[in-house]
Structure formats: C-alpha cells, structure tokens
Chains A and B, each alone.
Chain A
C-alpha cells in the first residue's frame, strides 16, 4: 500500500538524501500506546487537578466553583508557608552537602588506589534502596536510645534528634544525604575521569601546583555536571515525602512537614481544592527550576 504513494523524488536517491523517511502512519501507530497512557494517566488528571484547584470539593459531593480562593488561602496559610519553607531548607541543604560529599569522595576515588570499586559500592549502595528503607534504618539509629545517641552519649552530645522540633528536620536531611550522595560520587567520578590529561599537563607547565590545578582545571571542567546535579537534585528534594512519612509523620509540632506531605494530608482531609492548589504551586516552582536547568545546560554547549 505505501509504496505506490511514494513520491518519485525519493526513489533512487537513497545515497543522496540521508534522512528521507516515508512511513508516515506507521509512526503514529507505534507512538499511539505511549500517547494513550500519557494522555489518560497524565494529561487528564493534570487537567482535572487544575479544575479542582478552583473549586471546593470533598470527592463526594459535586465540586463548587470558588475562583481563586484556594490559591489565596494556600499563599497566606501559615502551615502551607511553613511547609514550603521546610522544603526549601531541605532542598538547599541536601543539595549542597550532598554534592559536596559526592565531590570529595569522587576526588578521593579518582586517586590511584586499590579497592576503588569496593568503596564506590559502599557509597552507592544506599542509592539503589527505596527511601523508606533508609528512613526506617535511621529512625532506629536516631532513636532516643539508638546507636547514634549511644555513641554520642559518651561525649555528652546525645540529643533527641527526631523528637525535638529544632533538630528533626536536620535529622531527616542528614538521612537523605546519607542515602543520596553516592549518586553524586559516581557522576563526579565519571566526569573527573573524562577530563583530558593534557589540560593538567598544560597547567603544570604553567607552573601550577596541585591546588591550583584543582581550581583552574578540575572545577571548571566539572561545572556543567555540578549544575546538572544541583538542579536535578533540588527538583527531587522538593518532592520529599517518603522519609518524612516513615520518620516523623510531619512532626514534631509540624516541624518536618514538606509540601508533598501537606498535599497528601489535605487529600486525607478530603480538602481536594486546596490540595490541588498546592500541587499546582509545586508545578510552578519546579517548572521554573526545570526551565532554569535547560537554560543553564544549553549555555555550556
């Protein structure tokens, strides 16, 4: 069937025109399942969510239109703003400490040492675990009479890490960093190993010592990777939920509530309007960050 409709110009010009593609409808059939899944399980819910963000809806009685009331509430509600603040702190801290640890460990692993694979695996193993496993493990380690406190208790530094509103959020951040920095280790290591040796040679010829070489060659070469790691990590950190659910359930005193945790809580309270508004605020923030990442990524072509 398709061959008879082929345009004459395409036949016999295979070697001249490299990218002539003629199978116009087969392509659509091949992408149809994917489009169906994405359409039904992404676009339809996203549209519904947007609609509900302008209504008062408890999932049972029909939604009532309320205009921008949900957004106004969400942007002024102290609990939501606090959750947003906690999430920002979470993202910033985990995405500075994490990559820092990743960079240091990558630099160490880049040295000519033996057992590199063993160490790399030790750092990377938590990354392949579900976050709830890390959360569960650290919930026990950080318990009031858990291992950490028993060790720190020797020097009198034991503390109620997870039950003190002042420290609970940082305890969760520490858990997340432990779980995730191995990812940065591996990414940075790979980037380090692809820096051309000639750049170091050139710098040494110019009289730079190892410290200068680090600043002049290593860091600039790693810059695109660092940007990537930071932006992707921040986007992930903004969606923090699993560890909060397992370790503190948002407490104590709501000091560890994150945006997504609050969203799910509103869902359980059957306040689907404000929940959808919170979701779209998250969309706005993350879309901005993603766009930023694309822009920064393109810069360093």
Chain B
C-alpha cells in the first residue's frame, strides 16, 4: 500500500512540474538547416471568410509541394483576434496566419511574432524583400528593427454606390462631403433603424480614421505619447459622421453581423469600405451585378482613408516555420497575388502583384468600370494607424466613443475627450 502511495505521489509531483513548466516556456521556431528540404505539416489560420482565395492557393500549392501538408483552418475575424494572441507563443500556435496589419504592433511587442528575417534570409521569391514592396509597406512590416510580417494585401477605403438607384432618383455621385449628406438624405427612405437605401454607418475606428484624415487631423502626436484625435479636426470629423448618419445613414452596430445582409436586401445603397468588399458583393449579392460603382470617398478638405491590410505571420510557437515560409512565399507569388484580386477583390501588397494585368481590366459587376484604379488612388492618400503597441486599447476606446456618438449618448467632443484620456493612460501606463 505504502509503495503505491509513494508512486502516486511521485506521479502527481511529476505531472504538476511538467504542467507548471509549460507555463513559462516560450519556444522559438528555428529555421531548418540549409540543404534539408522543408516538409511536414503546416497549420494555416485564415480570417478571410467565404470569399477567401487562400483555399484555392493552398490546393495549387499541395499539388506542387506534395511533401508539405497544409492544414487549413478558417476563423472569423473576431475569433482570430481572440484566439491568436493566446495561442501564438505556445504549442497550440498555427504555423502561418493571416493577421490584420493594425494588430501587428501589439502582437510584435508581446513577443508573439517570429522574425521572418531568419526564415527568408531577406528575400522573397528570389527578390530582395525591400524591393518587393513599396517603401511604406516595407516599413509597416517592421517592428523594432525586425521583419515581423510579410504583407499580403492592402486595405484603403472608397465609396461604393448603387448607380441604378442614384440614376433613378436623378442624383449624381457625390464629390464633396456636403454633396454626400445631400444625396444620402434624398436617396434614403424611412427613418432610423427602419431606413432603406441608406448609407451604411458602422461605428468603427477604421471609418473615423478616414474621416479624421479627410479633415487633416492626426491620431496621435508624432512621438506616439499623446492622443490628438480629440483636436478640433477630430471633433469636426466625428460631427460630420454623425451628420451623415442622421441625414441618410443606417446605424450598423457591432453585433448586427455581416454587412452583406443589409446590402443584399436593399437597406444599404451606399457604403465606404475596402477592395475586399468587391469579392463579398459578388458572392453575397450576385443579383446586383452591374448596379454598383466605386468612387473616391467624398471630402471637403482633402482626400483620405485609413491604410491597413493583411499580413502573413509566423507565430513564435510555430512548429514548422520553415515549411510555413515556403507556403507564405508561394501565396505571395505574382500569379497568386492576382488571384487575391480576382477571387476576393483584395488589393495585392507586393509590387509585382500590383503590376498584374487583371487589376486594370474592366469589371462587369461594376458596370464595366475598373474599380481598382479608384482603390489605387485611395491607397496613395491613405494614412496608416500609428505604430504603437497600445493601439489595441486606443482602438477600443475610439470604437466606444464613435458608438456612443452614433447612438446619441454623447457629443463628439465629450466622447473623443474621454477616449483621449483612456488612450493617454494606455500610451504611458
């Protein structure tokens, strides 16, 4: 009996130690030694959704690289933002994941992203990394002197509009902000949450950032220590948004689900969003083919939008980083970057991808227009979010501020001041 107890006790202690040891270890993936061909399993997490091009790309990849098995896992955008940080530095991490570029500073500063320099040797598909991307993109891929992500697509916002509805109402595409308010008021029917043919107004920081840029305001001070979005320009930007919502907008709360529902049933006649919505429209509102157009977001002072995108990252907990990099490079090849555009409408991030012919072809869904030209312009005047690890918290504060103004619970000045206070605390805490 006593012996059995001692064995049990020993087992318990050992188990406890093993488990406790797991708490503190944070393995770094090591690049395979040169000469050994990368193989094995690569777990890929993708947040693209139904119109993802990655499934097709992975299928092609598996045919060309039979020695690497790709385990593809789809996640919703919110779900991945919850699961990834928690899993990234542990053994439950994927090998490769799609991550919103705006999350990069926070993840990199928490030590979740492996240095891609060691996997890539500074090259992408045979080209030096620095010349594969524009200067802006390349600097956005760095954190603290390390290359932490390989950018896959760009995101900048433009105006999508139902040209058939505008024509029927005898209205022309708005160019200035006042036009926009006017047109939306005339086009929308009904009031409040029962509106149809309205402008989609989600209370998100991405839209506020665009409005702020169009007023010439800045998010943070140049040294990233203080919030400046509550300046006069910021208050004006948020006031503008509220004005638009009241005139002809449809409030689309964070819990209202995917936009496509409101687009497909006609409640939304105009919305401001990025190129990937082209893919969403084609798959979710196929019967509206030929009715949509794209134009620069209306502005009074200057054109502007937020600048973001998707980056491919290898988390520090990845078990097979070498094979993951092989897959990442394949995804970033020019033909596959083109597939990104044709399948889901997203704008390629690599220079080679941007030069592909498909991007300059007219699109029948958009009545023969070449929508990509509009997004290219938007990217030229787009402003990236500040590169600070406190951005996640600032973004949450701003989301709450915008939400409270849209719901009529606070004035723009008050809401932005509260958010500024919270942000300053996060920046300096």
Report if A and B touch in the complex (beta carbons < 8 A): yes
Residues of A bordering B, CB below 8 Å: 25-26, 28-29, 32, 36, 39-40, 44, 48, 58-62, 144, 160, 162-165, 248-249, 251-254, 267-270
B256 in contact with A163 (CB, 8 Å): yes
A267 in contact with B86 (CB, 8 Å): yes
Minimum Cβ distance to chain B for residue A294 (Å): 30
Minimum Cβ distance to chain B for residue A28 (Å): 6
Residue in A32, A162, A254, A269 whose beta carbon sits within 8 Å of that of B400 in the complex: A254
- Chain A residues, Cβ within 8 Å of B85: 268-270
B403 in contact with A253 (CB, 8 Å): yes
Could you tell me the distance between the alpha carbons of A39 and B254 in the complex, rounded to whole angstroms?
A: 41
Q: Please, how many residues of chain B have a CB less than 8 angstroms from a CB on the other chain?
A: 37
B407 in contact with A270 (CB, 8 Å): no
- Chain A residues, Cβ within 8 Å of B24: 62
- Chain A residues, Cβ within 8 Å of B16: 39-40, 44
- Chain A residues, Cβ within 8 Å of B90: 59
The A/B interface has a contact count, at CB < 8 Å, of: 81
B1 in contact with A29 (CB, 8 Å): yes
- Binding-face segment, B2-10, B204-212, B230-238: B2-10
Could you tell me the distance between the alpha carbons of A162 and B85 in the complex, rounded to whole angstroms?
A: 29
Minimum Cβ distance to chain B for residue A245 (Å): 11
Minimum Cβ distance to chain B for residue A242 (Å): 16
Could you tell me the distance between the alpha carbons of A254 and B396 in the complex, rounded to whole angstroms?
A: 11
Could you tell me the distance between the alpha carbons of A267 and B86 in the complex, rounded to whole angstroms?
A: 8
Whether a CB of chain A sits under 8 angstroms from the CB of B15 is: yes
Could you tell me the distance between the alpha carbons of A269 and B81 in the complex, rounded to whole angstroms?
A: 9
Could you tell me the distance between the alpha carbons of A252 and B407 in the complex, rounded to whole angstroms?
A: 9
Whether a CB of chain A sits under 8 angstroms from the CB of B255 is: yes
Minimum Cβ distance to chain A for residue B218 (Å): 25
Chain B binding surface, main DSSP class:
helix
Residue in B19, B26, B82, B393 whose beta carbon sits within 8 Å of that of A44 in the complex: B19
Known: A48-B23, A268-B82. A253 touches B110 (CB 8 A): no
Whether a CB of chain A sits under 8 angstroms from the CB of B20 is: yes
Minimum Cβ distance to chain A for residue B175 (Å): 33
B12 in contact with A58 (CB, 8 Å): no
Residue in B2, B20, B82, B409 whose beta carbon sits within 8 Å of that of A165 in the complex: B409
- Chain A residues, Cβ within 8 Å of B110: 58, 60, 270
Residue in A32, A253, A268 whose beta carbon sits within 8 Å of that of B407 in the complex: A253
A252 in contact with B1 (CB, 8 Å): no
A269 in contact with B253 (CB, 8 Å): no
Nearest neighbor of A39 in chain B, beta-carbon distance: B12
Closest 8 pairs between A and B when the two form their complex, measured CB to CB: A60-B89, A25-B1, A268-B82, A60-B111, A163-B253, A32-B8, A60-B26, A58-B110
Whether a CB of chain A sits under 8 angstroms from the CB of B373 is: no
- Chain A residues, Cβ within 8 Å of B193: 144, 160, 163
A40 in contact with B12 (CB, 8 Å): yes
Minimum Cβ distance to chain B for residue A27 (Å): 10
B255 in contact with A251 (CB, 8 Å): yes
B86 in contact with A59 (CB, 8 Å): yes
